[in-house]
Amino acid sequence: MSILSPVRDILFVCLCGLIYRIFRNRRKRLLPLPPGLLRWPILGNALSMPLTYAHIYYKRLGKRLGSKFIYMEAVGQPFLIINDYRVAQDLLEERSAFYSSRPQFQMTTEVIGLKRFFLLMPYGDGWRNHRRVFRQYFDPKSLPRDQEKQLDFVRKSLLPNLFAAPKESREHVANCVGGLILSMTYGLPVKTRHDQLVRFAEKTFNNLAAATAPGKYLVNIIPQLRFLPEWFPGAGFKRVARGILQDLDKLREEPYQATLDAMDEGAIQNCLVSENVEKLRNAPDFDNRIAEVKEVARAIFAAGFESTTGNIMTFILAMLKNHDVQRQAQSEIDSVLGPERLPTFSDIRDLPYFSAVIKEVLRWNPIAPIGVPHLTTDEDVYDGYYIPKDCIVMSNIHAMLHDEKIFPDPEKFDPGRFIKNRDMANDDLLNPIDVVFGFGRRVCPGSHLAISMLEITAASILCLFDILPALDTQGKPIDVVPEFTPASITSHPLPFECTFSPRKGKDVESLLSEYMNVKYV
């Protein structure tokens, strides 16, 4: 038998495989793209892609096209917008192997230079290393430890400030949430009011969140604009990027160094940074490993601050606009707690209506209405349509949670939709908690912390206060029309006026007496 025979057979099999692959790929590309608008030469749909309220635009466009998902292109970059929960499950969950990367938006990765930012990293070993650092410390099994700190901040920072200055709720919520995140991450003491590091971090990450939004800067749609010099008309985004990067560098280094100093003095609380420094102290690759820790620590504030603050402010706005809901939730809380104590985490399971309120808060104004974009790492076919490789995939969470077929009258704030009867949750209805934190391998790893903080904050506020309209100069209630931020990865209420009044029958001052004069947490 000739020695060339098996070689020939192997070559023949390889050739057949190559021909099949070419034919298969050609056949894929002959399939139609998903429904979308007419594309112009070169620009594609760049001029049709909204810079504000994209989630509302794409929901309406999907209805107009009669499609659950939409295809767009901007200067050759393909986009897929998913308006349907089941489609998101099919693609981002069931086919997560090639729907789990992140697009490198020009403003954040190229212009600002955030190529190692945990939330925005492409899928791969670097991202897995960062996620491991996060999960090892903030494992769901460690939630009781973190809940103890959450309770501490709500009682020592938020509630006394709402009692003392009831018209400054946004500032109090931000200081409480930001302080909690900095404490859990860096173990540093935080002022219960007007903490300067919290304020600086808030400003920096608000600017970053705006820059991350796909529609905020045109350079995210037309990448070639990144080559413009900073002085060129229309290149002001480069000055913005330079300022954000300087602030981000400061936030990466200064709190970390403060934690090291506190560890040397023996005055540090247990936290993510201190635990990792101790664990890695003798590691041969200490510098590389601790660089990952510093990046993760910085990213935690970006991920947690605006989303948690936004959820709490959405809750406050919803209660302000829905007094019947507020009263019913308060009545349920009173029936479990009585008049003489504050809520704890163990009470939440006995509050079915209150739990429905939390779900409705998440549904009514989902904190990430257009999701954090995914990126395909291979081409795909779904429902007879061709989806290209390197396609940016956006989950329109707003559209999913405002689907009239699932949630009738979706603009109405109605916790009753999640209740079958007085004591049972409606488990047949799509749970917003399963949607708002994303899909697949890129689901938010801190969702358990976010839900926990929202629940204990909302229960504590309802226990002690009535959320009421502020009064104008003539003593008349100011009517608030709910409005939300137009262009960002996150959606939170625009500034609104309200006040917090101690509830009748509640000795609020006595219940808060041990927390009233605390300066640091």
Q: Which structure tokens are listed for 44? A: 């594609």
Residue labelled with tokens 């349907």: 84
Whether the Cβ atoms of residue 506 and residue 331 lie closer than 8 Å to each other: no
Which residues are paired to 395 by β-bridges? 82
291 contact partners, CB below 8 Å, separation of at least 6: none
- Please state whether beta strands 69-74 and 77-82 pair in parallel, antiparallel, or not at all (unpaired): antiparallel
Cα(75)–Cα(221) distance, integer angstroms: 7
CA 296 vs. chain centroid, Å, equals 15
The Cα 74–Cα 57 span in angstroms is: 16
Provide the annotated binding site for heme: 444
State how far the Cα of 181 lies from the Cα of 175, in Å rounded to an integer: 10
| Residue 27, both tokens | 């056949």
CA distance 507 to 322: 24
With contact defined as beta carbons under 8 Å apart, do 439 and 93 qualify?
Answer: yes
Where helices occur in 31-166 by DSSP H, the ranges are: 54-65, 85-88, 125-137, 143-153, 159-164
User: Which positions make up the binding site?
Assistant: 444
Beta strands in 345-395 (DSSP E): 374-375, 380-382, 385-387, 392-395
Closest Cα partner for 252 from 301, 203, 189? Answer: 301
Strand partners, 392: 79, 375
Instruction: Please tell me the distance from the alpha carbon of residue 183 to that of residue 177, in angstroms, as a whole number.
Output: 10
449, two tokens: 């912390």
- In the chain, the N- to C-terminal Cα span, in Å, equals 83
Which residues have a Cβ under 8 Å from the Cβ of 47 and sit 6 or more positions away? 40
Q: Is 280 in contact with 287 (CB distance < 8 Å)?
A: no
**Is the alpha carbon torsion for 135, 139, 140, 145 positive or negative?**
negative
143: CB partners within 8 A, 6+ apart: 448, 449, 452
